Structure formats: structure tokens, C-alpha cells
Chains A and B, each alone.
Chain A
Amino acid sequence: MRKHFLAMAAAGLALTMTACGGGAGPADTTAPSASTDTTATAETSAPMEDAGTLTLWADENRVDSFKALGEKFKTSTGVTLDVVEKPTADVKTDFIAQAPTGEGPDLIVGAHDWVGDLVKNGVIAPVELGDKVSGFSETSIQGFTMDGSLYGVPYAIENIALVRNNKLAAETPATFDELVAQGKSSGAEFPILIQQGAEGDAYHLYPLQSSFGAPVFTTGDNGEYTGELGMGGENGAKFAAYLKKLADDKVLSAAIGGDQAKQAFLDGKSPYMITGPWNIADFEKAGIDFSVLPVPSAGGQPSQPFLGIQGVYLSSKSENALLANQFLDYMTTPEAQTTMYELAGRTPALTESADAVDDKVLAGFGEAGKDGQPMPSIPEMGAVWTFWGAAQISIIDGTAKDPAAAWKTMITNIEGAF
């Protein structure tokens, strides 16, 4: 049944894409120049033409960017990049299921927190970037590293931040309590929007949680996660109590999912929303005058949102591993990273390209995420997310009468799942 739904969703997306097909500027304009370039290089070295084909899976949000990038790649190597669109929720699962049969792609585009699952299933191969690693931001490499091996080439970093509607609030206080007070006195319907939904959303609450000194895992000296839960204990209980307080203050509610929060912000019903760069385009389209700011601390320590890093993985079953590595090599060039920034609008993972970006919004997100940690990528993280969200929502909607006890049960359950 879920498949059906996704198929429908994909069909719907395909329709919308054809509808906005006229607007696909970058792809349209690069195509002709790319083909002339190919013929130019083809004359000098004839065998460059049709040097092979690589298959790459990307989800609907990234497929156009990679098609455009593929054109550029073809001009420099003669290798065709066949970009296949997959629904977001299917890229990873389908890849794990199909790679062993030999039907999978050579490369996939995905978030860094898939590393654990993909390595556990033995479907991705380590990538050796040599000295080029030093050109990347440290956290982006850290995100794609597991057991000392690098498993993908990062190209974009994103995190959530506090987005302020400048019309409804001009100044932002330094602590979250003051922020709530300010939001309430502003007269808007919601003091602050933090999306939750029926299953909870620990990701959007993490800036608050981390400010209580209750990180999901403790970190070692080199900043890597140790795999030991850090959110138990006294600090965790404090955060649980704070959740209850926010729910009583009507800041948090299970009824406000992602769509509801976004709509309420677009309608000017709240001065603040904690969200990521994916909603920015719509805010701009709606003509909202907004600023992107760090999330004020709720528990006294700096708030550290999770960093999500996008990258390209290499299938360990690829029959074209050498060509695929050439593409990964190309992904490490400033040209490719800057192209991806221009096409997708996220902070590049390559420091050289990131420094060249001059954008107020991205700078705001960068500032908000400067203390951030990559989202943990261990395979058990799936279980953590669900228990985590479920416990938080049970505190928020009041099913759990005692927040501290509910938090403790959650820790026990997560440890049980490991």
C-alpha cells in the first residue's frame, strides 16, 4: 500500500515537473554548449565519445541538479551520467535491496546518516580522496567517515535555524524563555513554530535539547560519536521538564506538523519558526521579510542543531567503479561544488566553494550551525529516532504524566534496541 502511495506521489511530482518544465533554465542553457564542447574534445581525442555510462540515483529534489552536473561531467570525460529519479523514501531501501542483485546503480545521492546502514549491508565502497580531503569542511568529512574509512564525497551542508518574520519581531532575545515571552506578547497566534506531528520530531527539537547539555550520544576527543547515549541523566530530565513547560505554554503541539507550521508562518501567524533552508524558497516567494538566526539557548549551553550533509556514495557492486571514481573525483572540484551550490542553494562542503558564497540567508544558517554536530549515522539510529520522537510527543500531548519518567523509559528502550 505504501508503495502505491509513493507511486502516486511520484506521478504527481512528475506532473508538476512537466508543468514547470519551462522554468528549468540551467539544464536547458547548458545542454547546447555542452554538446558543442563534446564535439570539440572529440576531435582531438576520438575515443572520448561514449566512454561509458554511469547510473546515478537521486531523489526528486536533486535530480535536476545532477542532470545538469552530468552534462558538465560529460564534456570533461566523455562519460555519460544517467540520472534516475527515485522517491526520497525509496532511494536507500531500494538501493540496499537491489545492489546485491547487480541491478543497482553505480552511484547514489543521499544524506550522510545513511552511512551506517549502507556499510552494515555491504553495499557501498570506501572512497579514497587522497589529499583532497583537507579541502573539505571537517564536519562534512567526519559525517561520511565510518571506522576510519571515508564512504562518500560530500557536496552540501544544511541545518536548521531560527527564522524570524521581521515584520512581527525586530529584535531577538538571547534566551529561549525570553523568546517565548516575546512571542506571546507579540499577539500572534503562535509564539514560535516548531514542527512536531503525531510521531514527534526530535530533529527540530535538538537545538533546544543540546542547549541543556544532553546530546544524543557523547562525543570522543576527536568529536566523533562514541555510541554511548548522552541524553540520559539529570540534563535529559531537565529537558523533558522543559518540553512539558513548552507544551503548557502552547509552543509545542502534536497537531502542528511540518505543513501546518509552514502555512502558519506563511500566513504571518507567528514571528518565529525553527526550520531549514528547504522552506526558504517558499518564504521568499511569499514576499516575507525574514532573517535567519541561531536558535537562542534554552538550557544555558549553546544550541547545536544537527548538521545534515549531502553527498554521493559509490556502490560496492558497481561494474564501472573506475568511471564512478572519476565522477567522484570530479565532485571534489570547486567547479562541481559551486555548480551544485548554484543549482541547489545549499552551503558547499568544499571550503573553497563555501568561502566564495555570498548569501545572507546561507550565512545565517551557517552561523546557526557553527557548533553543530553531524547527525549520527550508526545503523541503530533508526530505532533512536522513533523512540525519541515518540517519547517527546507523549510528554507534549500529556499521555506521559511524568516527563522525567517517560524520558527514562525511553533511554531504557533505546538501550534495549541496541
Chain B
Amino acid sequence: MTITEEPPRTKPQQLSHARDISRPGFYVKLVLMALVNAFGIYGILASWASKDFYILAFLAVTLAIADYVYFSKRAIPAKYLMPGLVFLAVYQIYVMGNTAYVAFTNYGDGHNDAKQPAITQILKTSDRRVEGTNTFPVSILEKGDVLSFAIVQDGTARVGDQENPLKNAPDAVIDGERVTEVPGYDLLKLADIQSRQKDVLALRVSLSDNPDDGWLRTDNGTLSYVAKSALVYNEAADTFTSPEGKVYTADAKQGLFVAADGTSLTPGWRVLVGVDNFTRMFTDSRLSGPFFKILVWTFVFAIASVLTTFALGLGLATIFNDARVKGRVVYRALFILPYAFPGFLAALVWKGMLNQQFGIINQSLLGGASINWLGDGTLAKLSILGVNLWLGFPYMFLVCTGALQSIPGELNEAAIMDGAGPFKRFRSVTLPLLLVSVAPLLIASFAFNFNNFSLIYMLTGGGPNFPGSPVLVGETDILISMVYSVAFESGVKQYGLASAMSIIIFVVVGFISWLGFRQTRKLEEVM
């Protein structure tokens, strides 16, 4: 494909701007590519430093391709496509791939990292202070490269390191509770401790030869305490054992260390759980009950939103397309205003206006009525459709106005000659022609409303809730807001479930859009 699109070479072939050293274009390209390479190499070095090898590989490959594409004579179409393709890969393909991957895992609260960090964390939290023991002001010493702790216990100085338990150091100098000097050792100052904080934090000095006595550790470099680990990790068996002898075994299916009695250690880790997340929507009775109610309302909402906005938009467009209307420009500008509002902001404003006690609609427009616009199931649904009509009709008005103006006037004149009345003309001439260009936009509008999360979330939050429902979803929840409610608002965050559900929604919307577009093709054949 690259070769076929290259222009045929004529004899004194003119060099392109970007290849001709005597023209500025070449230097512009050089500077731009130098920048791209500089950023790319910086990114590679940075990801090397932070050990992000996937990012590193991606950057290296992309950079190599970019250099080849822009310095080669052959890849002319690629020069245009490359930036778009890179963004496609980063912002679409990667995101979709990641969502699909997460949908098959148990990623969520309690399982939000890999196994190794989970083990580290369990060990960390189980290494606790032994209750009832003293704390000791600690001095940190260095000999060669080995760090030691020095404390004052019962008036005598004691020194020990990772390998050697605490031993009396009679020749040490004590000032109050703290050891200030031990011959043969260097005393670390605050700044030295700060710069070697990892070693200091990792240092455990046994109190005696008996491991049951525990060990000294410090968190801040000035105070040490006696600690003991409540759990012992056995790497070969992949188990934790508590002092009482309870064994927690790694369960790769759940991503948890589980004991025989069913108790488990926190945190767990991320594991692949297969299609569990996908089937839960249908098999979990807590979800499947409200699910079908919500599915129906989602379709009603999306279809009714498209139809009402289209009807109003088309009606207004037809009226204001008539040359006899005066001041059309002003009216048209006014109608577009709701479109210029950010949708979620408008939803919030409407929420205030529809408030039962304080809202302007009840208070002023209806003279102090007490209509529960957002608290009653049916009224809340109507309110949502009403607000969405207000939000959505300007768009339909715009596209219909455009489409109407592109319909040749002769067609209507011919229909008049044939004796068709205005209604018949509209039905048989204008509408079919209009639909050819507008139908794809109606499908897009359907897909948008099917996932119109911000409107639902901001206006009713899905409420009023189904009374007593075991998951917190309500009359006006649509699928996407149900996903949000189930996966995030019901206490525990479940990214895996949320990803799986949004993939299901994607499939539904994709299928319907495909059906719709097939239908529109038939419309075009009418032409």
C-alpha cells in the first residue's frame, strides 16, 4: 500500500520540502524529529529507572518506527497515519485491552495488588510491638558497612546488629537514656539516618539468642521497641503460620491466604477468575432481579429520549425553516442555548428547580404545589425525560435545520403541482429525504443516551430506590448507573465486575447500532 500510493517518478524529480537541505522545511522537520527523539529517549531512560519495562519497550518500538517513517522516502502514507495510530494505540486499544483484562480478574477492594506485595504487607503488619514491653531511645551505629542498634537497658549500654543479638558494651558512653559513643563504631547523625532509612527500617536486632524474646526495631530512627512477628511465612509451602499453629494456605482461585476454618488474611491479591464477573449479573439473585427492570427502563429511556428530542427538534426546525417566520436568526440562536450548557451542570440546576419544597417549579410556576418530582418513581422518570428533552432538542434542531436546507426546493414544488397537501408533502417527500442524512445521527444519539450516566447520576442518582431492594438501585437507574452503584457505591469497590458489566453494555449498544446502520443503508437505497 505504501508503494502504490507514491506518485509516479518523473525524471527531474523535485525533492519534497522536508528532504531538500536548502529549504526551511527540512530544518523544521529536523527540529521536530530531534524533539520527538529527545522526549522519547528521556521517556526510555525514565522508564528504565522506574523499571517499567513494558512502557520502555513500547517507547523504544514507537520511536524506532517514527524515525524510520519520517526519514524514509518510502513510507509516505504512514507519515500521515502514524501520529493518529499512536494515539489510537494509547488511548483506545490499550484502554480497551486493559478493561477486558480486568473484567476477568477479581481486581477491587481487598485484591488491589499482586501477590508479592500482599505477602510483604502481611509480614509488615504482623511484625508488631509485643504488648507490655518498654521502648528504648536508640542510637544507630555503623562499623564498616554494618549497622547496629545501641540502647540503654537497666543502666548498661547494649549493642547488637542483624546477625548478633544485643550484648553489653561496658566501654560505651551513656548520656541519660541514650548511648552517645561506642568505641570502634561511628554514631550516625540524623541526616545519615535519613539517607540510609531503608537499611535502618529493615534492621532487626534480636534481644537474645532465644528468638521467642523478639527483636528490636525502629520506625523513626530515635525510638526502638520490642517486636515479634505474629505470622511466619513458609516460602516453599506458600503458607503463613500463626503462633497458635493455624495455617493459612495460599488459594490461587480467590487470591487469599485462607485457613481451614474459613478465616483469611488481609490483603489478598489479584487473580484471574474467568467469566465469574460476566455471569454474576444473571446468576446472583440480588442483581438479576433489578437487572431486568433496569434493562427495560434503559431501553425506554434511550428510545423515548431520541424520539422526543427528534420530534421537537424537527418540529421547530420545520417551522423556523419557513421564510415567513420573522427573526429566525434570533430564535435559532436562542434554541441552541441549552446545547451550549455543560450537560451535568444543567442536570444539577434542574435538580434544584425540581426540589419538592424549595424548587422554583413547585414554588413559583405551580404556585406553591408540593409535587414530588424526583421522589416518585413515575414522576422521576418523566422528569428525566423532560430534562433530557430540554438538553437534547437543540442538537436535533441543528441537524434537522441543516438537513432541511439541503433538500432541493423543486421536489416540494413538484409535489404541490401533483396536488399533495402540506402534511402529505412532509410525510412523503421531506421526511424520507431527511432520514437519509439524520438516521445515523439518531443511532448515535441512541447509543449516547443508552450510556447517559451524567444526567442520571446528577439529576436523581438513580433514585427513588426500589424499596427494600438488596442492591441500591432505583426506578431511574439505567444500566451504566447500575454498574456504578453496584461496583462502587455499595461499599466495596469491584473493578473487575464493573469492567465486565461495561463490556456487556458495550456489546448491547454495539449490536443495536449495527442493526440500526443496516436499516439506514436500506433508506439510502430508496434514493
* Residues of chain B lying within 8 A (CB to CB) of residue A8: 345
**Cβ 8 A contact of A383, one of B453, B464, B492:** B492
Q: Which residues of A contact B424 (CB under 8 A)?
A: none
| Interface status of A260 (Cβ within 8 A of chain B) | yes
Q: Which of B109, B122, B190, B223 contacts A96 (CB 8 A)?
A: B109
The answer to whether A255 and B344 touch across the interface, beta carbons within 8 angstroms, is no
Contacting pair A326 B344 (CB below 8 A): no
B467 within 8 A of A: yes
- Whether B190 contacts A48 by the Cβ 8 Å rule is yes
Q: Among A128, A130, A322, which residue has its beta carbon within 8 angstroms of that of B197? A: A322
Q: Known: A5-B458, A117-B109. Contact between A122 and B267, CB under 8 A?
A: yes
With A100-B113, A120-B109, A413-B470 known as contacts, the answer to whether A198 contacts B493 (CB < 8 A) is no
Bound form: Cα–Cα A391–B466 in Å = 10
User: Considering only CB atoms, which chain A residue lies closest to B135 in the complex?
Assistant: A130
Q: Please give the distance in Å from B363's CB to the nearest CB on chain A.
A: 11
Give CA–CA (A148, B492) in the complex, Å.
23
Give which listed residue, B191, B198, B467, B491, contacts A47 with CB less than 8 A. Answer: B191
A399 lies within 8 A of chain B by Cβ: yes
- Asked if A19 CB lies within 8 Å of chain B CBs, one says no
Cα A126 to Cα B457 in complex, Å, equals 37
Shortest distance between the CB of B113 and any CB in chain A (Å)? 4
Could you give 18 example pairs across A and B, Cβ below 8 Å? A1-B344, A47-B189, A51-B194, A52-B195, A100-B112, A122-B267, A198-B461, A260-B357, A320-B197, A322-B200, A322-B219, A322-B220, A380-B492, A386-B489, A399-B467, A409-B467, A410-B468, A413-B470
- A390 touches which one: B220, B266, B358, B465 (CB < 8 A)? B465
Q: B118 interface residue, CB < 8 Å from A?
A: yes
5 additional contacts, CB 8 Å, given A130-B225, A316-B125?
A4-B344, A100-B114, A121-B113, A317-B117, A406-B467
Render B104-138 as a binary contact track against A, CB cut-off 8 A, 1 for contact: 00000110111001100110110011000001000
Kindly list the 4 A-B residue pairs having the minimum CB-CB distance in the complex, ordered from nearest: A382-B491, A122-B267, A383-B491, A47-B191
B406 contacts chain A at the CB level, 8 A cutoff: no
Q: Are A1 and B457 in contact (CB under 8 A)?
A: yes
- Counting contact residues on chain A (CB < 8 A from B), the size range is 35 or more
Number of interface residues of B (CB under 8 A): 63
A254: interface (CB < 8 Å): yes
Hey, what's the 0/1 contact readout for A242-271 against B, CB within 8 Å counting as 1? 000000000001111000100000000000
Residues of B within 8 A of A382 (CB): 489-492
**A108 CA / B518 CA spacing, docked (Å):** 54
Residue of B125, B198, B453, B464 touching A125 (CB-CB under 8 A): B125
> Is B355 an interface position by the 8 A CB rule?
yes
- Partner among B129, B267, B356, B453 whose Cβ is within 8 Å of the Cβ of A121: B267
Verify if B454 is at the interface (C-beta below 8 Å from A): yes
Decide if A417 is an interface residue (CB 8 Å cutoff): yes
At the interface, yes or no: A78 with Cβ under 8 Å from chain B?
A: yes
Residues A121 and B112 in contact in the complex (CB < 8 Å), given A254-B375, A329-B220: yes
Residues from chain A with a CB closer than 8 A to the CB of B125 are 119, 122, 125-126, 149, 316
Question: In the complex, are the beta carbons of A383 and B490 less than 8 A apart?
Answer: yes
Assembled-state Cα–Cα distance A241/B398 (Å): 54
Q: For A381, give its contact among B112, B197, B491 (CB under 8 Å).
A: B491
User: Which chain A residue shows the least CB distance to B127?
Assistant: A126
* Per-position binary interface string of chain B over residues 487-521, scored 1 when its CB falls under 8 Å from any chain A CB and 0 otherwise: 00111110000000000000000000000000000
A108 to B491, CA, bound (A): 21
Asked if B225 and A128 make an inter-chain contact with CB atoms under 8 angstroms apart, the answer reads yes
User: Could you tell me the distance between the alpha carbons of A344 and B455 in the complex, rounded to whole angstroms?
Assistant: 36
- Does A323 lie at the interface of the complex (its beta carbon under 8 Å from any beta carbon of B)? yes
Residues of B with C-beta under 8 A to A329:
220, 222-223
B319 contacts the other chain (CB 8 A):
no
How many A-B pairs with Cβ below 8 Å? 179
Whether the pair A1, B454 counts as a contact (CB closer than 8 A) is yes
Could you tell me the distance between the alpha carbons of A182 and B129 in the complex, rounded to whole angstroms? 55
- Roughly how many angstroms separate A253 CA and B467 CA in the complex, as a whole number? 17
A416 interface residue (CB < 8 Å to B): yes
A364 vs B370: C-alpha distance when bound (angstroms): 37
Q: Among A1, A93, A255, A316, which residue has the most Cβ atoms of chain B within 10 A?
A: A1
Bound-state Cα–Cα, A315 to B125, Å: 12
**B290 within 8 A of partner (CB):** no
Q: Complex formed: what's the CA distance from A400 to B460 in Å? A: 18
Contacts of A5 in B (CB 8 A): 344, 454, 458
Say yes or no: A390 contacts B117, CB within 8 Å.
Answer: no
B135 near A120 with CB under 8 A, answer no
**Cβ-defined contact, A79 with B194, below 8 A:** yes
CB <8 Å contact, B190 and A77: yes
The answer to whether A198 and B375 touch across the interface, beta carbons within 8 angstroms, is yes
Contact mask B254-286 → A, CB, 8 Å, 1/0?
Answer: 000000000000110000000000000000001
Q: Are B121 and A255 in contact (CB under 8 A)?
A: no
Using A5-B458, A48-B191, A379-B110 as known contacts, say yes or no to A120 and B267 having CB atoms under 8 A apart: yes
Instruction: Say whether B374 faces chain A, with CB atoms less than 8 Å apart.
Output: yes
CA distance A198 to B460 in the complex (A): 8
Query: How many Å from the CB of A362 to the closest CB on chain B?
Result: 31
B129 cross-chain contacts in A, Cβ below 8 A? 128, 130
Known contacts A120-B267, A122-B117; decide if A417 and B358 are in contact (CB<8 Å). Answer: no
**Do B358 and A78 touch across chains, with their CB atoms under 8 A apart?**
no
B339 to chain A, nearest CB (A): 17
CB distance from A78 to the nearest CB of B (A): 7
List the B side residues contacting A130 at CB < 8 Å: 129, 135, 223, 225
- Is B313 positioned at the interface, with any CB of A under 8 Å from its CB? no
The answer to the question of A131 belonging to the interface, with a C-beta cut-off of 8 Å to chain B, is yes
The digit string for A311-334, where 1 denotes a CB below 8 A from any CB of B, is 000001101111101101100000
Q: Which residues of B, 344-369, contact A by the 8 Å Cβ criterion?
A: 344-345, 355-358
